[in-house]
């Protein structure tokens, strides 16, 4: 059978779609690789944040350990224990891969220190070995390969090393001043740490970008102490050199550099997330545009005529659903500007109007028109639900019958208008002081009924007494003071609405008989 023009056009169209799809898939694949790389870099930086924090708390613990080794005071031991607890808490809360190794290493160092306080250099060295092991983990070929972030990563490494050199120097400073003067080898090593620190921190600050520029630590007092430390290491120690002051100054600088690390990581993470979002947007845009083009062109070529009948069928389906479920909140699709959408908008208006009528009808059927609380019929319906719930879950509930004392006198003396206002005020007052789960209804005339779910006779009596006092103290319209009598009955097995209401009414009668303005339990 010779090919028709329609079939030939279909073949040409399919070939065109195939070529377009191949190009789109290539772009999607490339963008997905970039997205994966950014996601991987972001994950790496998240790990870096955990490592830098762990290094920081270990450096603090090392410094506190050095202080305690050279001065076995109670306060130094207390500070050390707090530092150890901080380190342990952070390790337990982190998701570092080398969790067990780090934990075992720290326990080994602490045990060695507690058992042999004389070997100070060994203990400090073990802390430093663990810290250097963590620093060596802060390395990522993926980040270094990314030109945009390699500079920031190298800056971070410089800052971490500067902080570690300063930390080693801080541990040395905790040594008594006489020991420093005598121990030339340790002093030489400490001077070397100081020089390395100076080089590393200068490299960090000189390599900053303008976007996230960070200023050097400029506290005059701290810099003066740092100058004294430098003089001490060079053999020009001042007579007033204070180890504690020097230790505190170095701690302040280390903390400041850690804050810089945190800020730097936050800035890098922000940039990474922004780039990731851009790549994600590009990925989804290419995907969406490609799919939209394919489906839109297919729609124009193959589905244009059938779309009219499809939309009409959708309208029919929607209206059938409305008739079946009686759900008039359904909306017909009406986004276009044509005859079918005009019909759909008309149906939507009709559905909204019908729904509003039903809502108003239900409200009128279930609410008292004067007080706007539930009426008797709605209360009976809700009572049945609560009774079934009580039977199923074996939970208590109570009924409270409430009647205004001498209400007829109010109507006779002040008129029915004032009486109606009192009823409305009373309903509002009670609603404001009951639970959201409690059910208040007007039973008839000046009589109200309250259902208290999950409540015993005692708790319901407390509620009724509270309401009685509130009502008696309230000044109603026309400067009227009224009181109310209460009768309470708790649901019992085999109770019906009639029986429990009768018991509550009997209790109410007792309240009336004994002088009114009273709460009585059946």
- 322-341: pLDDT as tens digits: 778 878 777 777 677 777 77
| Average pLDDT along the chain | 80
Residue ranges per domain, the chain? Answer: 24-139+149-282, 376-521
Region for residue 120 given its phi and psi (left: phi exceeds 0; alpha: psi -120 to 50; beta: otherwise): alpha
Mean pLDDT of 432-444: 96
Cα–Cα distance between 17 and 11 in angstroms, integer?
A: 10
pLDDT at 260: 80
- 132-176: pLDDT as tens digits: 787 777 765 545 555 666 777 777 777 788 788 877 777 777 665
Q: Enumerate helices (H) and strands (E) in the chain, giving the number of each.
A: 17, 5
180-194, 323-337, 343-357: least confidently modelled range = 180-194
Cα–Cα distance between 153 and 48 in angstroms, integer?
A: 10
Q: How sure is the predictor about 122, in pLDDT bands with cuts at 50, 70 and 90?
A: confident
Q: Does residue 476 carry a pLDDT above 70?
A: yes
Q: Does residue 115 carry a pLDDT above 60?
A: yes
5-9, 378-382, 387-391, 412-416: least confidently modelled range = 5-9
Q: How sure is the predictor about 377, in pLDDT bands with cuts at 50, 70 and 90?
A: very high
Contact between residue 172 and residue 190 where contact means Cβ atoms under 8 Å apart: yes
β-bridge mates for residue 401, sequence order: 449, 487
* Of residues 378 and 114, more confidently modeled: 378
Q: How sure is the predictor about 6, in pLDDT bands with cuts at 50, 70 and 90?
A: very low
pLDDT at 287: 76
β-bridge mates for residue 290, sequence order: none
Mean pLDDT of 366-390: 94
Decide: residue 269, CB within 10 A, 0-12 exposed, 13-18 middle, 19+ buried. middle
359-368, 467-476, 502-511: least confidently modelled range = 359-368
- 283-319: pLDDT as tens digits: 777 777 777 777 777 776 666 545 666 777 787 788 8
Mean pLDDT of 258-265: 79
Mean pLDDT of 5-16: 60
Ranked by mean pLDDT, the top range of 126-140, 354-368, 468-482 is 468-482
CATH of 376-521, one of 2.70.50.60, 3.40.50.300, 1.20.1250.20, 3.30.70.270: 3.30.70.270
Q: How sure is the predictor about 365, in pLDDT bands with cuts at 50, 70 and 90?
A: confident
Percent residues over pLDDT 70 in the chain: 80
* Of residues 54 and 490, more confidently modeled: 490
Cα–Cα distance between 135 and 245 in angstroms, integer?
A: 28
Mean pLDDT of 251-269: 79
* Of residues 498 and 275, more confidently modeled: 498
pLDDT at 217: 56
β-bridge mates for residue 447, sequence order: 403, 444
Query: Which is it for strands 397-404 and 447-453: parallel, antiparallel or unpaired?
Result: antiparallel
Cα–Cα distance between 51 and 134 in angstroms, integer?
A: 7
Q: How many CB atoms lie within 10 A of CB 76?
A: 18
Contact between residue 343 and residue 349 where contact means Cβ atoms under 8 Å apart: no
Region for residue 445 given its phi and psi (left: phi exceeds 0; alpha: psi -120 to 50; beta: otherwise): left
Decide: residue 344, CB within 10 A, 0-12 exposed, 13-18 middle, 19+ buried. buried
Q: How sure is the predictor about 238, in pLDDT bands with cuts at 50, 70 and 90?
A: low
- 477-495: pLDDT as tens digits: 888 999 999 999 999 998 9
Q: Does residue 510 carry a pLDDT above 80?
A: yes
pLDDT at 12: 62
Q: Does residue 29 carry a pLDDT above 80?
A: no
Q: Is the dihedral of CA 366, 372, 374, 377 positive or negative?
A: negative
Which residues, other chains included, contact 175 with Cβ-Cβ below 8 Å and sequence gap of 6+? 66, 70, 183, 186, 243
Mean pLDDT of 57-62: 83
Q: Does residue 350 carry a pLDDT above 50?
A: yes
* Of residues 184 and 64, more confidently modeled: 64
Percent residues over pLDDT 90 in the chain: 29
Mean pLDDT of 272-282: 76
- 197-216: pLDDT as tens digits: 777 777 777 766 644 555 55
Q: How many CB atoms lie within 10 A of CB 121?
A: 13
pLDDT at 517: 96
pLDDT at 275: 75
């Amino acid at each position: 059978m010779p090919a028709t023009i329609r079939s030939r056009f279909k073949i040409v169209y399919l070939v065109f779609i195939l070529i377009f799809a191949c190009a789109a898939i290539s772009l999607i694949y490339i963008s997905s690789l970039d997205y994966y790389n950014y996601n991987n870099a972001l994950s790496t930086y998240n790990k870096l944040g955990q490592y830098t924090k762990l290094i920081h708390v270990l450096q603090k613990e090392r410094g506190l350990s050095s202080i305690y080794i050279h001065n076995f005071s109670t306060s130094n031991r207390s500070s050390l224990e707090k530092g150890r607890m901080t380190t342990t808490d952070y390790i337990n809360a982190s998701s570092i891969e080398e969790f067990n190794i780090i934990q075992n290493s720290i326990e080994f160092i602490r045990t060695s220190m507690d058992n042999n306080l004389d070997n100070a250099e060994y203990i400090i060295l073990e802390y430093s070995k663990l810290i250097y092991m963590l620093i060596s983990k802060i390395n990522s070929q993926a980040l270094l390969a990314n030109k945009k972030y390699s500079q920031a990563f190298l800056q971070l490494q410089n800052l971490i090393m500067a902080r570690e050199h300063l930390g080693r120097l801080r541990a040395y400073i905790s040594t008594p001043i006489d020991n420093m003067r005598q121990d030339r080898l340790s002093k030489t090593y400490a001077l070397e740490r100081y020089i390395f620190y100076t080089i590393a921190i200068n490299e960090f600050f000189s390599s900053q970008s303008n976007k996230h520029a960070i200023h050097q630590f400029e506290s005059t007092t701290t810099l003066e102490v740092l100058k004294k430390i430098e003089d001490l290491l060079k053999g020009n120690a001042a007579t007033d050199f204070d180890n504690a002051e020097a230790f505190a100054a170095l701690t302040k600088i280390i903390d400041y550099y850690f804050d810089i690390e945190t800020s730097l990581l936050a800035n890098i993470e922000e940039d990474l997330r922004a780039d990731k979002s851009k790549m994600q947007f590009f990925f989804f845009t290419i995907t969406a545009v490609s799919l939209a083009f394919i489906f839109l062109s297919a729609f124009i070529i193959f589905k244009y005529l059938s779309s009219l009948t499809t939309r009409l069928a959708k309208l029919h389906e929607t209206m059938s659903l409305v008739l079946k479920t009686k759900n008039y909140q359904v909306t017909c699709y009406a986004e276009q500007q044509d005859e079918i959408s005009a019909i759909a908008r008309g149906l939507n208006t009709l559905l909204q109007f019908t729904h509003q009528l039903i809502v108003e009808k239900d409200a009128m059927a279930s609410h008292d028109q004067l007080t706007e609380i539930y009426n008797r019929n709605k209360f009976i319906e809700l009572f049945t639900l609560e009774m079934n719930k009580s039977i199923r879950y074996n939970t208590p509930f109570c009924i409270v019958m409430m009647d205004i004392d001498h209400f007829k006198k109010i109507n006779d003396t002040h008129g029915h208008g004032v009486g109606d206002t009192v009823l409305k005020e009373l309903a509002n007052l009670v609603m404001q002081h009951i639970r959201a789960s409690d059910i208040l209804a007007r039973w008839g005339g000046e009589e109200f009924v309250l259902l208290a779910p999950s409540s015993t006779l005692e708790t319901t009596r407390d509620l009724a007494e509270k309401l009685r006092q509130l009502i008696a103290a309230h000044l109603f319209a026309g400067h009227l003071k009224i009181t109310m009598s209460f009768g309470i009955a708790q649901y019992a097995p085999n109770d019906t609405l009639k029986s429990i209401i009768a018991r509550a009414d009997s209790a109410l009668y007792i309240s009336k008989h004994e002088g009114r303005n009273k709460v009585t339990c059946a």
